[in-house]
Amino acid sequence: MTAKVRYDDVEVGTELPAQTFQVQRANLVQYCGASGDFNVIHWNERVAKAVGLPDVIAHGMFTMAEAGRVVSDWAGDPGAVVEYGVRFSAPVVVPDDDRGATLVVKGTVAEKLDGNRVAVDLDARVDESKVLAKARAVVQLA
């Protein structure tokens, strides 16, 4: 499958549709099971606070995956994402309530590369706190 977005239709500065993700404790428990990462800071408030965290925090890879969905949804094919990397700059704190944390992810085409590839920079935030830094994906377009 190839990306649905065409290289010739994209310019530097093109904005990807922003997405909002509600992150709740149930999502973290599901991710624990799927990933095999059962570190208690991702589901036990007492332990998370005992080690100096403000509350239970989302797995970094969970946060990274949610942000990556913005790129793969835009491209129309998850296989079009040929490189993806981030630095974790702040934890996603997930309170034990009906709302959880609200992760907002935006993307912008930062560069047009050779071979119908583009570099997309991502901005991922919870409230005003930037939770991913240097988040960039390289996407192979049609």
Q: For residues 104 and 64, what is the distance between their CA atoms, to the nearest angstrom?
A: 12
Fold of 7-140: Thiol Ester Dehydrase; Chain A (3.10.129)
Distances (CA, A) of 97 to 31, 55, 72: 18, 12, 30
Q: Name the DSSP class of 57.
A: B
Q: Is 3 left (phi over 0), alpha (psi -120 to 50) or beta?
A: beta
Q: For residues 12 and 32, what is the distance between their CA atoms, to the nearest angstrom?
A: 37
Residues 37-60 have pLDDT tens digits of: 999 999 999 999 999 999 999 999
**Paired tokens of 17:** 């549709």
Position 3 confidence tier, pLDDT thresholds 50, 70, 90: confident
Q: For residues 130 and 86, what is the distance between their CA atoms, to the nearest angstrom?
A: 12
Question: What pLDDT is stored for residue 136 in this prediction?
Answer: 98
Residues 63-104 have pLDDT tens digits of: 999 999 999 999 999 999 999 999 999 999 999 999 999 999
Residue 65: enclosing H or E segment and its boundaries? Answer: helix 60-75
Q: Where are the domains of the chain?
A: 7-140
Question: What pLDDT is stored for residue 1 in this prediction?
Answer: 61
